[in-house]
């Protein structure tokens, strides 16, 4: 028996890194998971790992910024598993520059993936959740506590040099989360944010050279942190190290459990003791 037996979850950006670990954790606790990634292979690999461990999962491949993606993502959960209980908005990447060098393209791309896409997914989920709640109440059945967890960052709570776009998007996500907590409380839905500090993923791990990049829709985006800067950042963390993706997933899981059913509209900082 898992803490999330019978629950249906969608997790964006769950083919790799933190998102993968979130999907694995939710599935290990009994949730049926819709795995999303920009690319098919990482999504399939996450599903295979879940199934190998005895869990249940399916894929919904594509960019969260694509027109109509929110509806397709939500509908995959409904068509495959018959409902929707947990929404984790995790997908994203960084595209950094100091403000005087940041282009409109950089600004728009990061706001789209980190703020507009979660908004669109939540907008698509509202009629589904409303209908499920209405049917339960008409049948005299209890309405389960559903969960929204939006992934933010300490850049969103305190800003970060070189990340005006990312910081603004993540700060905006906090406002969106608090609004959903107020609007959806009547459906017995909690909405919370997890703000990560330094978590060691492909986006933060120091590249072997200065040419570390990821491919986003055919565009090569430079990622990675200078090794000296990374070491300095870790020295500022009271626990003395960056977090592992599985530890980040644990913070998200906390807000998906029944034990957090009366926690809503909050931001949980997962940063090893470091905060702004």
Q: Return the pLDDT at 208.
A: 46
Comparing CA positions, the residue from 121, 133, 26 lying closest to residue 69 is 121
Each residue's pLDDT, cut to its tens digit, for the chain (276 residues) gives 799 999 999 999 999 999 999 999 999 999 999 999 999 999 999 999 999 999 999 999 999 999 999 999 999 999 999 999 999 999 999 999 999 999 999 999 999 999 999 999 999 999 999 999 999 999 999 999 999 999 999 999 999 999 999 999 999 999 999 999 999 999 999 999 999 999 998 777 656 444 567 778 777 777 767 677 778 889 999 999 999 999 999 999 999 999 999 999 999 999 999 987
User: What per-residue confidence (pLDDT) applies to 211?
Assistant: 52
pLDDT at 207: 61
Domain segments of the chain as ranges: 8-197+243-270
Q: State residue 270 phi and psi, 5-degree precision.
A: -115, 85
The pLDDT of residue 224 is: 66
C-alpha to C-alpha distance for 72 and 60, rounded to whole angstroms: 8
- What is the maximum span of the chain, computed from C-alpha positions, in angstroms? 61
Q: What is the pLDDT of residue 202?
A: 76
Which CATH class name applies to 8-197+243-270?
A: alpha beta
Phi then psi for 169, rounded to 5 degrees? -65, -45
Cβ burial of 178 (10 Å; 0-12, 13-18, 19+) is: middle
166 as an active site residue: the answer is yes
pLDDT score for 240: 95
Phi-psi category of residue 93: left, alpha or beta, with phi > 0 → left and psi -120 to 50 → alpha: beta
Q: How far apart are CA 188 and CA 222, in angstroms?
A: 41
pTM: 0.94
> Which residue of the set 166, 187, 253, 262 is catalytic?
166
pLDDT of res. 20: 98
């Amino acid at each position: 028996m898992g803490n999330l037996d019978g629950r249906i979850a969608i997790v964006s950006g769950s083919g790799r890194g933190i998102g993968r670990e979130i999907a694995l954790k939710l599935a290990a606790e009994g949730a049926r998971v819709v795995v999303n990634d920009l690319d098919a292979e990482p999504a399939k690999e996450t599903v295979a790992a879940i199934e190998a461990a005895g869990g249940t999962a399916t894929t919904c491949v594509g960019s969260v910024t694509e027109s109509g993606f929110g509806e397709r993502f939500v509908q995959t959960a409904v068509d495959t598993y018959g409902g929707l209980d947990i929404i984790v908005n995790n997908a994203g990447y960084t595209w950094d520059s100091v403000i005087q060098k940041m282009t409109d393209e950089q600004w728009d791309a990061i706001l789209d993936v980190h703020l507009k896409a979660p908004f669109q997914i939540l907008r698509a989920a509202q009629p589904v959740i409303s209908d499920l709640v209405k049917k339960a109440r008409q049948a005299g059945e209890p309405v389960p506590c559903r969960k929204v967890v939006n992934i933010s960052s300490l850049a969103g709570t305190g800003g970060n040099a070189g990340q005006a776009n990312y910081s603004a998007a993540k700060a905006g996500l906090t406002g969106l989360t608090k609004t959903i907590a107020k609007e959806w409380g009547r459906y017995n839905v909690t909405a919370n944010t997890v703000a990560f500090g330094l978590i060691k993923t492909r986006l933060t791990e120091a590249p072997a050279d200065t040419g570390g990049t990821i491919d986003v829709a055919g565009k090569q985006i430079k990622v990675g942190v200078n090794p000296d800067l990374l070491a300095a950042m870790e020295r500022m963390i009271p626990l003395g190290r960056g977090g592992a993706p599985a530890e980040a997933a644990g913070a998200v899981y906390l807000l998906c459990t029944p034990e957090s059913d009366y926690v809503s509209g909050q931001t949980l900082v997962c940063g090893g003791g470091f905060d702004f």
